[in-house]
Amino acid sequence: MLTKVIDQSKIDHISRWLGHAEKIVIIAHVSPDGDAIGSSLGLWHYLNGRGKTVNVIVPNAFPDFLKWMPGSKEILLYDRYRDFADRLIAEADLVCCLDFNALNRIETIAGSVRNATAKKLLLDHHLYPESFCDITVSHPAISSTSELVFRLICRLGGYDDITREAAECIYTGMMTDTGGFTYNSNNREIYFIISELLAKGIDKDDIYRKVYNTYSESRLRLMGYVLTQMQVYPDCRAAMISLTKREQSQFSYIRGDSEGFVNIPLSIKNVVLSCFLREDTERPLIKVSLRSVGSFPCNQLATEFFGGGGHLNASGGEFHGTIDQAKAQLERALAKFKPLLTAKG
Ligand code: 5GP
Ligand code: MN
């Protein structure tokens, strides 16, 4: 049995909305990851099964290693089909916002969602949700939005209607947001849910291979290159890797190729913070990714030094300037956070 994480009053409310809603739009965050796509498609399959007209809209493209997911071809990219997507949002009865906590995380779609007359539901697990929805289902202690989708569907009495396709999407989101169940994954109910998803016929080993073992040769060489260039700050128990646009083109970089790189320096003994600085190819800025182990709040560092945020152990932000300036900014952050980084425990 699962703990009833979502308030019953919210379940009742959502259930009533779903009774009436015909046109539903599901929106996830910019540069969608496995959880953004997995949770959106999981919910999409379920609502389709209930006979709704449902569309998933995301701000921009998602990585190739998620394109095997059932339903992924139906996802609308806002940067390509803006007018059509705007019409769907304006005409929707219900807009479901998945895996983000603030309108700026959907960038170009934000205005349309703000102006939509539809009922709005937020289903998310990031800290400090902004109040832009009629119902906010926000559970930072839950390790993925996909897990929340599973919990929501079950509470709506829909477990039997979860298909193998929906289960595959939900599992993918749960797996990717926990690094293959290697962090944020000690809640035993996660494994109860996985057991239920296996009962739906998913092949979890195959999903792992499709997500993590389908990269190009050049991606593996890029990983090797980035790691040889890595900078370690033993005094601060931190490490940094970086990637310029020039290096990206040397290794025929495509979107998603650096997925997971930021976690690798954490495999060094005593390193508790890893930072990845990547020159964005679309916008003139440096994308910053941070990961930590244990109690070090990398989201605080992201907020204070890179105008971002996120979770305790996984956060990110942006930097306007060159890679070298971003490195200098990181080093200032390390100096400030050194006492916390080197604290025992
Ligand atoms: P990633 O490193 O995978 O891009 O992001 C990890 C987490 O950091 C995301 O799930 C999100 O919570 C947070 N994050 C990443 N980039 C930003 C950003 O620019 N702003 C904010 N507020 N959070 C971010
Ligand atoms: Mn997530």
Which residues fall within 8 angstroms of residue 228, CB to CB, at 6 or more apart?
Answer: none
Span 166-194, pLDDT tens digits: 999 999 999 999 999 998 999 999 999 99
98 alpha carbon, closest ligand = 2
| Residue range(s) of every CATH 3.10.310.30 domain in the chain | 217-342
Q: What is the pTM of this model?
A: 0.90
Q: b/e per residue, 173-189, with b = 16+ CB within 10 A?
A: bbbbbbbebebbbeeee
**pLDDT confidence band for 344 (50 / 70 / 90):** confident
More confident residue, 114 or 310: 114
Q: Do 215 and 65 form a contact (C-beta atoms < 8 A)? A: yes
Residue range 217-342 forms a domain whose CATH class is: alpha beta
pLDDT (mean) for 243-262? 93
Size (the chain), residues: 345
Structurally, at CATH architecture level, domain 8-212 sits in Alpha-Beta Complex (3.90)
Residue with tokens 């200098």: 328
Alpha-carbon distance of 63 to 65, in angstroms, equals 6
| Residue range(s) of every CATH 3.90.1640.10 domain in the chain | 8-212
Q: Please determine, for residue 159, whether its predicted confidence score (pLDDT) is greater than 70.
A: yes
Span 283-293, pLDDT tens digits: 899 999 999 99
Q: Please determine, for residue 345, whether its predicted confidence score (pLDDT) is greater than 70.
A: no
Q: Which residues line ligand 1 (CB under 6 A)?
A: 33, 126, 262, 289, 308-311, 314-318
Q: What would you report as the CA-atom Rg of the chain, rounded to the nearest whole angstrom?
A: 20
Expressed in angstroms and rounded, the spacing between residue 53 Cα and the centre of ligand 2 is: 25
> Which among 79, 86, 80, 31 is positioned nearest to 55, based on CA atoms?
86
pLDDT value, residue 170: 99
**pLDDT confidence band for 282 (50 / 70 / 90):** confident
107: which 2 tokens?
A: 């960038």
Which residues fall within 8 angstroms of residue 234, CB to CB, at 6 or more apart?
Answer: 270
Span 228-243, pLDDT tens digits: 999 999 999 999 999 9
Atom 6 of ligand 1, residue of closest alpha carbon: 315
* Number of Cβ within a 10 Å radius of residue 294: 11
Alpha-carbon distance of 176 to 153, in angstroms, equals 20
Q: Do 229 and 254 form a contact (C-beta atoms < 8 A)? A: no
19: which 2 tokens?
A: 């009774």
> Which residue out of 139, 315, 319, 320 has the highest number of ligand 1 atoms within 8 Å of its CB and is therefore the one to mutate?
315
